[in-house]
Each structure stands twice: as structure tokens, then as C-alpha cells.
A and B are shown apart, each in its own frame.
Chain A
Amino acid sequence: MISRVSGPLVVIKGLNPKMYNVIQIGEEKLIGEVVGIEGKKCMVQVYEDTYGIKPGEPAWDTGKPLSVELGPGLIGNIYDGIQRPLPEIREEIGDFVRRGVMAPGLDRTTKWHFVPLSKRGDKVSGGTIIGEVREGSVNHKILVPPGEKPGVITEIEEGEYKVEEPVCLLEDGREITMYHVWPVRRPRPFLERLSPEVPLITGQRILDFLFPVAKGGTAAIPGGFGTGKTVTQQTLAKWCDAEVVIYVGCGERGNEMADVLEEFPKLEDPRTGRPLMERTVLIANTSNMPVAAREASVYTGMTIAEYFRDMGYSVALMADSTSRWAEAMREISSRLEEMPGEEGYPAYLGARLAEFYERAGRVRTLSGDEGSVTVIGAVSPPGGDMSEPVTQNTLRIVKVFWALDYNLAYRRHFPAINWLKSYSLYEDTLRKWFEDRFGEDWTNLRKWTKHVLQQEAELREIVQLVGPEALPPDQRVLLEVARLIRLAFLQQNAFHPVDTYYPPEKQIEYIRAIKRYEEMAYEALRSGVPVERILSVKGKEKLIRVKYEENFVEELRKIIGEMTEEFESLIEEWKYKVE
């Protein structure tokens, strides 16, 4: 029976549920989850509005923890934080989300064409792949649910099935359906962890070239509002080379989700040529939807990601924004009257964040394949202040840090990722992969690029004091090279059809061209050409615009040719003058 209602927190007495069991609240059977037990009372966070709920109304223990349904029907779908399909909800109750609706995560009526990959007499156990169905651009593998005891197949047949119909029979009479349920807060099992040595290619120059993330790795994007967290997350969701993308809009804007929903079905995956939506699962729990469901949404997303990992796929999970998740934790914690830690966040904030990011990884799955979950979490520090608890606790865990910067955003340098503050701890493990494919000079060029940018930052302090004119010629050339790196290479327009996606082979060509300019400029300087002339070389500005060209490599070659000629004639001209 309900004894107290305070916002999303309801206190129940007379039930003896286990922690994290799902409880049905009141006459309308709203769902909630046990988050605390105290004597005969238990505290329940409710995933829906509690307006009008009274003490004395009944409550039921379902006996099960919060779980998601895993099977065909996930791809291309859009869910709220507890895996209720939003399109179905709209059909049922209209344009506004009202409480008390239940709809299963997977459609019960669709028939899927099941193709067996195992045969009669095969031994199977939890995690074995027994067949597949085609879903969008993904071959959705059908797994024996992890945790099932081993058995031998007596019947398995190709055909059209609904998710609840058995597709496979074991000798002890067990039936395997195409879907199973899994509790969201329990990580799915695997055989072993593998070291992350393959990069997640994002097509973003500053990320792939300077601060790469590995498949199975973890990255954080902290940044104040307007610095481009969401645009970066969405760009990654579009172009990263994961086979399945899970995008969790956790406590963010409704209009942005609408934009994703409109855009993704139209955009083409550069690798498969199919609409991007056909590899994407969206979880949208916008900021005005119930706060407890927001807390659950990242776990829902993670469990779905692990499920696709278990099929042997590389999965990318974008969580935008983890700060809203942390705030949901804080809100529930404060209503539980727990002792607050830093800035009112619960003392277990760090532990929860660590648990979550630890579910990322590249692993050997139960079926012996390789799969990975890469987690990219946006963080929204209040006032852009990175010393706040969520950012700091996140940085202790993640290996890649993409620091978004207000000052870059104000001058519309996008992506506004600060190249001096960001880092990637995967540089070394990924080095071989990049060098094998794109040339031995990959690592050296990266070091050179960082070095130039670092020197520029130091010189800029001097320029602030004495003005640029006062610098010696070689340093003025260096400033110019750094400017080229920033404007041409680092700036990337997410909304330009060509510029939005740059594969690594184009990235390296581009940086080589800038290096080429540097070499020629220094050579000219040594030959006595005045620095003003070097700085006004025409080809240089073309280097900045060439990124928008369809046939980039060809145009780039032309520009290098022109630039070389220009420099050569400059050197020629000054040879006589110097003499």
C-alpha cells in the first residue's frame, strides 16, 4: 500500500520486494523501481507522473528487475527511457505522452524471415548464435539467451516467425524464441576482454588524426551549452564506422530528437549505402519526460548495445547527456534524504559512472566472435566549469577527452574541440593500425601537427604583448602554418555535404599538403625571400577552401602544383635580387 508520494518518489509499505524490483503503483499501475528499503517500507522511483496518486492506493511487486526485450524490431525504432516504443504510444494515445500506457518493446505481430545458422544435433549454450533475420542493414543474429544451460538442437527450421514463436527446439523440450529479456542494470556476460587496437573511424579530422578513440573504448565530450556537444554526438552517430549505433537522448531537447528522426532515414551510410536509420536505435527521454525514466535510459541503451555486441558487431553508444543522468540520480537521492556528497550529488556518483563506462569494451563473445561497445558520453558542466563532480568523475574513467571550448565556439571554429586540452590514451595502441593502412608518416605527422599548435599557443602570448610584426620571420611562418592547420584541417563543417565526412586517407593527404607548404615556405625563407611575400602566396588560401571540393585529392594535387611553382618562381626572383 502507498504511504507517501513526493514527486517521482513513492514510499510503499507492506511489500517485501528485492532491491531494483519493478513495482506497479496505484490503480493505474504506474511502473517504478525499488531504490531503497527501510524496515517494512520501500522507496520506489516512479517512471511516470505521480499527480493525483494518493496514500492508501494499492501497489504490486512484479518480482522482476527492470528489463528490456531484445530481439528483431529494435533497429530503426525509437523508445523512451524504459523501452516503450514512442510510435506505438503515439498511435495509442495521441501526440502527448500521458501516463499509464504500456506497450511491449518489440512488436508482437511482425513476421521475420528466420534463417538457421545451426542445425539439428548441434550443441548450443547461452550466447550461441543459432540463426539470423535481416533487419535494415543489419543481419540480426538470434542468440540462445545468455545463462541458458547447454543443450542439443532437435528442431530448427527456416521460415516466417513472430518474435514470440519458437524457432528452435532443444532435446530437453526447451523452446528458443527470437527474443529474450535482460535486466538493464546487469552487464551481459562475455568470454574475455580484448585489448582495444582498432580505431573507431569517425570521419572527423581532429578526432581521427589527433585524438582517436578505439573500438571498445570510452570517450567524454564535456562542454558548456552552445559549444557543440550535440552536433558532435550526432555527427559521430552519422559517420562513425560502427555497425550498430545506439543514440540515447537523455534529458535533452525534443526538437533535436525530431531533427534526428527526420534526417537519419534520409542520410546514407557511406559504407553500406543504406539509410542510416537502418543501423540505429534511438532512445529519447527528453528533459520534460519523467526524471526516473531518464535515470534508466542510459542503462536501457547500454543493454541494447551489449546485445548487438554479443552478435559480434562493433557498436557505438552515444549518451547525450550523462550530466542529465547524474542530475536525475541527484534528484532521486535528495528525495530519499540521503547524505549528499559534492554539490548535492550522491556519494555513489563516481561508482555509478565507473560501472557504466566499464560496460564498454572490445570482447570475445560467448559465441567466440569479436564484438565491441564504444561509449561516447557528453557531459554538460554547469557554467562550463570542468571542475564540477560529473566531469571530474568521468575523466577519471574515460580514456579519451574531447574538451569543447567556449572561445572556439564563439568564433565559430567547429568542431570547437580544444587541441591543447584534449587527449587520447589510445594513440599508441592504435598507431600500428593507422601506419599499416595510411603510411608510416601518420604518427610523425600527428606529432608535427601537435607540435606546431603547441608552439603557436606559446607565440600567441608573445604576440599579445608585442604584436605580430615584431616576431622574427621564421616564427611568423610558423604562425601561418598553424593558422592553416586550424582553418583548413581542424575546422570541419558538419553541415557541408563533402566536408562532414573525411575518411582517414583524405585526412592524411590534407595534412601532408600543409606540411609541404611549411617545407616550401622555410626553403624560400632560407633563400632570402622576404616573409611578407611568403605569407601572401596565393595557393595557401586555396588550401583552406579545397576541403569542400568533391574531387578533393585531384584538386589538392593541382594546388600543391601551383604552390610549388609560385614558390619556385619566388626563389628564382630573389636569387637575382640577393645577388
Chain B
Amino acid sequence: MSLREYRTINRISGPLLFVEKTSPVGYGELVEIELENGERRRGQVLDTSEEVVVVQVFEGTSGIDTGARVRFIGETLRLPVSEEMLGRVLSGLGEPLDGGPEVMPDERLDITGAAINPYARDTPKEFIQTGISAIDGMNTLVRGQKLPIFSASGLPHNDIALQIARQSKVLGEEEEFAVVFAAMGITNEEAQYFMEDFRRTGALSRAVVFLNLAEDPAIERLVTPRMALTTAEYLAFEYDMQVLVILTDMTNYCEALREVSSAREEVPGRRGYPGYLYTDLATIYERAGRIRGRKGSITQFPILTMPGDDMTHPVPDLTGYITEGQIVLSRELHMRGIYPPINVLMSLSRLMNLGIGEGRTREEHRALADQLYSAYAEGIDMRGLVAIVGKEALTGRDLKYLEFSYEFENKFVNQGREEEREIEETLDIGWDLLAMLPEDELTRLERWQIEKYHPKYRDKEDHPNDGDKADEVRPNRG
């Protein structure tokens, strides 16, 4: 390790230092800055040439002057990892926050990671039961998937993320998920909320927490998700664990990236975000998946808030292009008191088909979900119509769809924060709701599926709890 120290800072701009007349410095190298008062900060090389080296300072540049000492460490940023990290709370840069000792490293890993060879990837196909009907039934999650939650300020995305972390399981397997939680720029209060829930449910013992809070330096956020994913990769692929990674809030991450980009005076892309935002996000989101011949897996739940509830904002937009679907939260449903307020029509799980069907969930799952979608979409259309022409102008058929759309939200989407529905139960609720509609209209379902599962035909002795009347009210255990 060659230590080279300079006091040749020429320019300071935003989070960046421009250092002159150095000996050759490697791209991406780790930097240590020592202020005159002895304080130490860390940074990374963003651009290197013979004349000038650009350093991005994680803790921000406030208080730094041209007299500060800059040391180039000669290696890229690494995270010490070990299995003992489970149960620990660390800072956004990987330092202990819980008063515990430093992590005794088994290895020190480069946090940028490397791309999984597409040929080495295994197709994600094990169904994860989250116990939430709107996800399990309509947007099924599989192990190794990356499924973001598109939320907005004031919506209960944290509750949903916690409920998923708490309830997720692969049917037929005892093993629980290990959770890696990375907070980027969230408030102290939000962080407390997560921590309390982790402690209450005992989840902390199988969790690694990285906290970069709102008051912490913004530039540090660029490192936090990479620290978390490096840990996740280590646990998943060295210790065969099933790891669930929660990253919140990705919008804060992107803002930090924009800050650095504008300080470098780069040509801005949409809304001032750099043109490489897609590539940069991909290097985070693509670190999910499974590898052939290894037992572990990484499943990602990034959370992001859409500024102004706008899904075409670059952050949700580019995220949607990289992730395998999205869970979209709706302010309207939230106002009506529906939890989880998941907008089923706008949500999507691209890997759903791989995880459902016979032997995984149930044979008719795909067709049932399609039928529920199209019926619900039709009902939503009717709402638009009613707003203009009034209920009187609707035909009897149309009225049934209208009613269906409300019942779907109240009985299928709506459930309790602690309620954990088995997949069978989720699907049966779906069937009960479909019984509201004329049988002829169920064109997405094949005849035999209707005869086997439709409440009208379902053998009552086999299903003593299921009534055959659609309007029978199901007790909401929430």
C-alpha cells in the first residue's frame, strides 16, 4: 500500500476537491483527507489525469480549505465483511453505530462489485409468500427478483416494507430470510420505526443495518447501497443465505448523484440528473438474483418516493426500466383507508409467471389473476363513466363491474398490517369476488377452471368455510 500525501488542493466545488501535481493516482482510488484540526474524512477519485485529480468527499467539503492534506490510499473502497455482521447497526460508510466493536473481517471486499455473468445466472422461480394478497395474488414475487415500491410522501411504504420483511417465506422451507437494510437520507424518526420493529420481532438478530440519515452527509449515500449489497452478496453466495435487501429511499440516492454531477459541470440529462443515471442505478439493482450451483439468493426491495406523485419522473422511470416490475402505491386508496394502498393495475411483477402455477401456487393462478385484472380495469372504467353520465345510464352488466371494483379493493386489496394470508386464501377471495359477475363474462378462465374453483361449483364439503354467495361478507381480520 503506497501512501502518497499532498497539500495541493486547487479548487473546491460542492462535494469535490481538485488536487494538482500528484504522482499517478488510480481511477476510483480511496482518499483520506486530513483537516488542519485533525479531523479525517474519506473520499474517492472520480477523474484522474497527470495535471489534476478530482476527489469526491463523502462527508462533504464544509470546513476544508486548500491547506488540507490529501492522502491517496492506493486501493478502491472496500468493506470488511464477516458472518458476524448479522445483528449489527452500521453507518452509511460501514462503521459501527451500535457501540459494538469493529467488524472483525473475514474478507475485505471491493464495494463496486462485479456483474454476475448472465450465463451463470439461475432463473428466479421460487414463489415468495408475503401474505399480502395484492402482491401474492396479482404481482407475485419470486426469490432473486428486484421489485421496487413506488411510493410518495405520506404513504405507508415503510409499513409495507416491514410487513414484507416480517412475513416473507418460501413455502415448504423453514429457513428465514436474512435482511440487509440500507437507509439513505431517511429521517431519524423513520429509522427508529424500522429499528423498533426489527427489535420487537427479533428480526434484528438476522439483519444487517446501514444507516445514513437525513442529517448525515449526502455524498455518503452514494456508498451506502453498495455497502449493503456487498454484504448481501457475501451472505448469499458465501454463506448460502436467502437475503432480502431493503433500500430506502432511492430518490435521495439519486439526488446525491445529481449533486456530484452538477459539481463536475457535466452535461445534464432530464431534470438535471446525469445522463448515466440509468447505468448507475443498474449497477445497484442488477446486484440481485441467483447463481447456478449456489444456494443463496438476493431479493431486492428498493423503496423510492415519486416527487409530485409523478411516475414519469426520471427516478421511478429509470428504475422501472431496470427492475423486474414495480409495486405502485396510490394516494387515493390510502385516503379511502385501504391498506396496503397498492394500485394493482399499475403494479407489475415481470417474473410472476415463473413462480406461479401448479406445484408452486395453484394451477389456475395465472388465469385467475388475468381475470381479476381485466374485471377490475373494466370496473375502474365504469367509475369514469359514472362521473360523467351518472349510474342510471349504466346497463346491469356495467353496474356489476362497478360494484366489483369496490369490493375488490375492500376485500382483496385491503387487509391488516399484521394479517398474513396464505396463498390459497388469497386465491379463494379472488374467486368469491368473481362470482359477482356473470359466468359468461369470465373469458380469461378456461371452463374446467371455473368448474373446479368457482364458488358455484366448489364442493362445499371440501371447503366448509367458503360460502357460495358472492356477497357474503368475509371477516376482515385486520
Contact = CB atoms under 8 A, between A and B. Distances in A.
A184 interface: no
Nearest to B444: A412
A57 interface: yes
A97 B114 contact: yes
Contacts of A506: none
Nearest to A87: B119
Interface stretch (A126-134, A201-209, A284-292, A360-368): A284-292
A343 to B, nearest CB: 7
B29 interface: yes
Nearest to B375: A411
Contact of B393 (A324, A413, A467): A467
Interface in A60-105: 78, 86-87, 89-90, 94-98
Given A11-B49, A382-B317, A89 B393 contact: no
B76 interface: yes
A538 B283 CA distance: 54
Interface string B67-81: 000000001100000
Interface in B89-123: 110, 112-123
Contact of B447 (A259, A262, A470, A545): A545
B112 A55 contact: no
B324 A255 contact: yes
Contacts of B46: 6
A86 B115 CA distance: 12
B283 A288 contact: yes
Contacts of B120: 90, 94-96
A6 B378 CA distance: 52
B149 interface: no
A373 B447 CA distance: 43
Given A51-B76, A54-B48, A226 B116 contact: no
Interface string B298-334: 0000000000000111100110111011100000000
A387 interface: no
Interface string A258-277: 11011000000000000000
A253 B49 contact: no
Interface string B34-73: 0000000000001111100000000000000000000000
Interface stretch (A326-334, A446-454, A567-575): A326-334
Nearest to B378: A411
A251 B123 contact: no
Interface string A467-506: 1111000000000000000010000000100000000000
Interface string B137-175: 000000011000000000000000000000000000000
A541 B311 CA distance: 37
Secondary structure call for the B interface: mixed
Interface stretch (B188-196, B214-222, B247-255, B287-295): B287-295
A109 interface: no
A469 B50 contact: no
B279 A78 contact: no
A5 B270 contact: no
A527 to B, nearest CB: 23
Given A5-B47, A97-B117, A541-B443, A225 B317 contact: yes
Contacts of B348: 226
A355 interface: no
B389 A466 contact: yes
A344 interface: yes
B279 A287 contact: yes
A411 B447 CA distance: 22
A327 B49 contact: no
A288 B280 CA distance: 8
B374 to A, nearest CB: 6
Given A324-B278, A411-B345, A344 B268 contact: yes
B370 interface: yes
Contacts of B48: 4-6, 54-55
A344 B272 CA distance: 11
Interface string B436-474: 000011010011000000000000000000000000000
B123 A53 contact: no
A472 to B, nearest CB: 15
A259 B354 contact: yes
A422 to B, nearest CB: 21
B443 A487 contact: yes
B393 A410 contact: no
Contact of B389 (A7, A331, A467): A467
A5 B282 contact: no
A331 to B, nearest CB: 5
A384 B275 CA distance: 17
Contacts of A89: 117, 119
B3 to A, nearest CB: 15
A52 interface: yes
B419 interface: no
A327 B440 CA distance: 48
A519 interface: no
Interface string A302-330: 00000000000000000000001001101
Contacts of A291: 276, 279
Interface string A379-391: 0101111000000
Contact of B275 (A54, A96, A224, A344): A344
B275 A331 contact: yes
B393 A327 contact: no
B330 to A, nearest CB: 13
Interface string A145-160: 0000000000000000
A226 B443 contact: no
B27 A53 contact: yes
Contacts of A340: 267
A578 interface: no
Nearest to A411: B377
A348 interface: no
A225 B294 CA distance: 31
A19 to B, nearest CB: 22
Given A50-B28, A96-B116, 17 more contacts: A6-B46, A51-B76, A94-B120, A95-B117, A95-B120, A98-B114, A225-B326, A251-B278, A259-B123, A287-B278, A287-B322, A330-B275, A382-B314, A383-B317, A412-B374, A541-B440, A541-B441
Interface of A: 3-7, 11, 49-57, 78, 86-87, 89-90, 94-98, 224-226, 230, 249, 251, 253-259, 261-262, 284, 286-289, 291, 324, 327-328, 330-331, 334, 340, 343-344, 380, 382-385, 410-413, 463-470, 487, 495, 538, 541, 544-545, 548
12 contacts: A7-B47, A52-B28, A95-B292, A96-B117, A258-B121, A261-B121, A328-B279, A331-B279, A343-B269, A412-B370, A468-B398, A495-B366
Interface of B: 24-29, 46-50, 75-76, 110, 112-124, 144-145, 237, 266-270, 275-276, 278-279, 282-283, 286-289, 291-292, 294, 311-314, 317-318, 320-322, 324-326, 345-346, 348, 350-351, 353-354, 366, 370, 373-374, 377-378, 384-385, 388-389, 393-395, 398, 440-441, 443, 446-447
10 closest A-B pairs by CB: A467-B393, A383-B312, A4-B49, A287-B282, A411-B377, A258-B121, A288-B286, A51-B28, A86-B119, A225-B320
